[in-house]
A = this chain, B = another copy of it.
Amino acid sequence: MGIFVFAITGALVGVRKDLDVFGILILAGTTGLGGGFLRDVLIGATPPAALEDWRYLLVPVAAGLLTFWFHPAVGRRERAVTVLDAFGLGLFCVTGTLKALEYGLGPVPAALMGMVTGIGGGMARDLLSARVPVVFRGDLYATPALAGAFVTVAGSRLDLPVLVVAVAGAGVCIVWRLVAMWRNWQAPVPAGSASV
Contacts and interface: CB of A to CB of B under 8 A. Distances in A.
Nearest to A16: B196
A169 B44 CA distance: 30
Interface size grouping (class) on chain A: 35 or more
Nearest to A190: B15
A109 B57 contact: yes
Contacts of A138: 20
Contacts of A72: 192
A22 B107 contact: no
Name the 4 nearest CB pairs between A and B, nearest first: A23-B136, A44-B46, A54-B108, A20-B187
Interface string A12-39: 0011111111111011000000000100
A129 interface: yes
A113 interface: yes
A128 B130 contact: no
B41 A42 contact: yes
A80 interface: no
12 contacts: A15-B193, A17-B136, A19-B136, A21-B189, A22-B140, A26-B142, A41-B41, A71-B190, A128-B133, A128-B136, A129-B132, A130-B130
Given A43-B47, A43-B51, A47-B103, 6 more contacts: A20-B137, A22-B143, A41-B46, A51-B112, A72-B192, A129-B132
